[in-house]
A = this chain, B = another copy of it.
Amino acid sequence: MIYQVQIKVMPLKDLLDPQGKAVLGGLHNLGLSGIQDVRVGKNINLQVEAADEAAAVAMATEASKQLLANAVMEYFEVVVL
Contacts and interface: CB of A to CB of B under 8 A. Distances in A.
Interface of A: 2, 8-10, 20, 23, 26-27, 30, 32, 34-50, 55-56, 59-60, 62-63, 66-68
Copies of this subunit: 2
A27 B59 CA distance: 10
B68 A23 contact: yes
B59 A34 contact: yes
A67 B34 contact: no
A49 B68 contact: no
A8 B44 contact: no
Given A23-B67, A44-B38, A32 B2 contact: no
Contact of A45 (B38, B49, B55): B38
